[in-house]
Amino acid sequence: MLKIDAFCHIYPKAFYDRMTEEATPGGYLQRLVRGVHTLWDLDARFQIMDTLGAYVQVPCLAAPAHRGRGHGVPGGRAGANRE
C-alpha cells in the first residue's frame, strides 16, 4: 500500500544555515535540527525514501519567512527592530 507523507518539512539550505547560526548555542533549536541534514539535503532524503518502497512525500517549508519587526531569518535578530 502506498503511504503519503503530506507534511514533511524542508528548509532551504541558506535558511537552515542562518537559522542554526542565529540560534542560541546548545539551545532547543540547535538540539532539534543540528545534524539533521535531510531537512535541507533532498538527495540524501531521496536515497532514504528509495529504501522504503511505496512511500512518497509532499514537502512543505518548515518555517515560512517572517516579514518586518526583526523576526525570522534572514530578516535579522528577533527584537532588533522593536519600537
d(CA 38, CA 16): 11
d(CA 63, CA 56): 21
69 versus 59: which is more confidently predicted?
Answer: 59
> What's the grid cell of residue 64?
515560512
Give tens-digit pLDDT for 54-66.
999 888 887 655 5
Give tens-digit pLDDT for 25-65.
888 878 888 888 898 899 999 999 899 889 998 888 876 55
- Cβ distance 59 to 4 under 8 Å? no
Q: The cell 530578516 sits on which residue?
A: 75
pTM confidence score? 0.62
